[in-house]
Structure 1
Amino acid sequence: MIYSMIMVPVFLLLAVSGITRFAFRQITQMKLQTHDRIFNYLETTGVYSREQFNNLKKQEVKVTSKDGLTLSGYTLEPHPGEKQWMVIVHGYTVSLHVSAQYIEMFEREGFNILLIDQRRHGNSQGIYTTYGFMEKFDVETWVSWILEHYGEECVIGLHGQSLGGGTVLEYLAIADPHVKFVIADCPYSDLSRLMYHQVRVLNKIPAFPLLGLVNKRMERMAGFRMEQVSPLKAVENSKMPVLFVHGTKDNYVPTYMSEELFERKPEPKQLLLVEGAVHANAYGVNPQRYAEEVHTLILNALEKEEAPAGSPQLCNPSQTAATVATATATAT
């Protein structure tokens, strides 16, 4: 009897400890997808192919993060000498290869491209994913690299998908004035609430006490806590033009998160809800509408930047950056 009374709490303690370690690894160190798997997905959805990527004229570049990691990326210069640059930031467990689907869209807008591997992903170093807590400073490093190598006249835009969307929104709190607009595709609005959703709703696991234990382990091992990552707080004082994109069938990062980000952010802003799209496939479902909204964002952001003080705006009032668009799903 005494033995049983001792062993039961020991067993429970070990079980809780094991679940906590597993959850922590899933959140910060989930197994990364191979290049083959990424391209298989892109080819299945019809948005991009490995042949297209292999045929790109690209240059590998590396920078050093503020905390000493080597970060890797590729530059593409379809418009040599032009001063417009797009930095495209991928999501969790993938790499810059998944960002290649957006290259042609931004080429058409006159931008040169920087594809980056986020820390711990692709060819970049790192142990933990921190959901924008440290990654926003990595974006800052890449922006500085562009300005150093291509000149202080550069105009820069950011595009981020999923984890990348959270990263570019977190960056708004420290944004360089050369960055003129942001596109956040299926971003999370608050990390604590996202983890609650994924643990409680998706996995049917009690959030208490698991998330509290994971949070303590996260602080001890990875150097941050969930409540320190909240794109909602980052957008509420930002006047930078932002396009929020989300699929209406996204259950991994719920659609309402982009809606509340849109509501919280001051103008200028746009919201594109792509009907029928699940997580991270809004562009694959309706690339035409996606590109139209991106074009409107860029047009308004750059015309506003170039217009002299007091001069009338050139954009159509019906296309202001505060419009909310809902796209109908189309096959691609």
Structure 2
Amino acid sequence: MKRRLIYITGIISSVVAAFLTLFGFLATNRLMYLKMKDPDVIMKREILAKRFDEKWYETVRKEGLWIHSPNDYLLNTVFLKPLNTKNTVIICHGVTENKTNSIKYARLFERLGFNSVIYDHRRHGESGGKTTSFGYYEKLDLQAIVQFIRKKIGEDALLGIHGESMGAATTILYAGTFDDDADFHIVDCPFSDFTEQVLHVLRMETPLRSTMALRIANLFLKMRDGYTLNLVSPREVIENVQKPMLFIHSMEDEFILPYMTKELYQAKPGDKMLKLFDKGSHAKSFNDNPESYENTVKEFLQRYGFLSKVNTR
């Protein structure tokens, strides 16, 4: 009887271990190898919405760059130079998108007197990198791009960063972790903590409600990609950000909830500004409120004296 109980217990333990292993691999695969949007679909979407002007892009002065990441791959980057200025904004797209999605912001900053740098995050578009880490490794890539562009434009030029969704979280992680070589930041719908964000998505899309799933995912994520979810937390570094920051979110966003941006805004010391749009789902604040969005960015730049510097440099 005792031997039989030990045998049954062993079988149950093996089944549980196999299930947890399978779950761990599937969960981390979903994170690390998140399916990308088709580049052609992104391009057609932006052209139809008149956010991407093919003729402008073909004729605008630009420089293609391959910037080395400290993570040992190349980042596909385009320096757009429609204006005779060194003032520049680096634009970070969201997860599953690519640099085509950044063109609409490049045109916005062109109207405000800035050239732009657009690039593909790791494992996105034409950049290298095997996994998506939602800001953990991406912040190092952004640091490399900031350093490269700062050397290119010089210390006297203005340098800003605009990030959307994952790109916004990456911007905060960069600015709050490293010596910040940018002059200002604009973050549109960032998550404040990736653990909370993953749990929110799980509860939205699956019957899972317990944090046990995250503990299992963390174990396998650490083994497979070298980090855990709790290490991707803009909330933990926002108090280190000293440069002016504009926070943007739309109240209709059900994917990354607006409270996360409010939380980050409250925790950020020094110069800051918050704009919450009534209309717009996730990462759609600009798409649904283009004029108000641009006016908000302009107000932010005016409030902290950047527009006057644009006009004199």
Q: TM-score normalised to the size of structure 1? A: 0.84
Matched, 1:18 2:27: no
Structure 2 residues without counterparts, runs of 5 or longer: none
* Residues 1:36 and 1:56: Cα distance change in structure 2 (over 3 Å): farther
Q: Secondary structure at the match of 1:125?
A: coil
1:53 Cα deviation from its structure 2 partner? 4.1
Q: Which of 209, 213, 216 is 2:212 aligned to?
A: 209
1:229 — aligned with what?
Answer: 232
1:314 — aligned with what?
Answer: none
Post-superposition CA distance 1:107-141 (Å, at most 9, x none): 01111110011111111111122222221121111
1:326 — aligned with what?
Answer: none
Q: Secondary structure at the match of 1:73?
A: strand
Asked if structure 2 preserves the Cα contact closer than 8 Å seen for 1:46 and 1:284, the reply is no
* Residues 1:177 and 1:130: Cα distance change in structure 2 (over 3 Å): closer
2:95 — aligned with what?
Answer: 92
Amino acid at match of 2:92: V
**Whole-angstrom distance in 2 between the partners of 1:121 and 1:159:** 18
1:268 Cα deviation from its structure 2 partner? 1.4
Q: Secondary structure at the match of 1:171?
A: helix
Q: Secondary structure at the match of 1:131?
A: coil
**Whole-angstrom distance in 2 between the partners of 1:7 and 1:37:** 48
1:298 Cα deviation from its structure 2 partner? 1.6
Amino acid at match of 1:188: F
Q: Which of 125, 131, 136 is 1:133 aligned to?
A: 136
Structure 1 residues without counterparts, runs of 5 or longer: 307-332
Asked if structure 2 preserves the Cα contact closer than 8 Å seen for 1:155 and 1:178, the reply is no
Post-superposition CA distance 1:225-273 (Å, at most 9, x none): 1111211122123231111111111111111111111111123111111
Amino acid at match of 2:265: F
Q: Which of 299, 303, 308 is 2:302 aligned to?
A: 299
**Whole-angstrom distance in 1 between the partners of 2:308 and 2:219:** 44
Q: Which of 71, 77, 83 is 1:79 aligned to?
A: 83
Matched, 1:106 2:109: yes
* Residues 1:36 and 1:266: Cα distance change in structure 2 (over 3 Å): same
Map 1:97-176; keep pairs closer than 5 Å: 97-176=100-179
Q: TM-score normalised to the size of structure 2? A: 0.89
The alignment of Structure 1 onto Structure 2 pairs a total of residues equal to 305
User: Root-mean-square deviation (CA), in Å?
Assistant: 2.4
**Whole-angstrom distance in 1 between the partners of 2:110 and 2:127:** 25
**Whole-angstrom distance in 2 between the partners of 1:147 and 1:228:** 27
1:191 — aligned with what?
Answer: 194
Asked if structure 2 preserves the Cα contact closer than 8 Å seen for 1:274 and 1:285, the reply is no
Asked if structure 2 preserves the Cα contact closer than 8 Å seen for 1:58 and 1:75, the reply is yes
* Residues 1:256 and 1:271: Cα distance change in structure 2 (over 3 Å): same
Asked if structure 2 preserves the Cα contact closer than 8 Å seen for 1:85 and 1:113, the reply is yes
Q: Secondary structure at the match of 1:236?
A: helix
Asked if structure 2 preserves the Cα contact closer than 8 Å seen for 1:199 and 1:207, the reply is no
Post-superposition CA distance 1:256-313 (Å, at most 9, x none): 111111111123111111113111111001011111111112223345996xxxxxxx
Percent of aligned pairs with the same amino acid:
28
Identify the structure with the greater helix proportion. 2
2:45 — aligned with what?
Answer: 41
Map 1:273-312; keep pairs closer than 5 Å: 273-303=276-306
1:13 Cα deviation from its structure 2 partner? 3.7
**Whole-angstrom distance in 1 between the partners of 2:139 and 2:308:** 24
1:216 Cα deviation from its structure 2 partner? 1.1
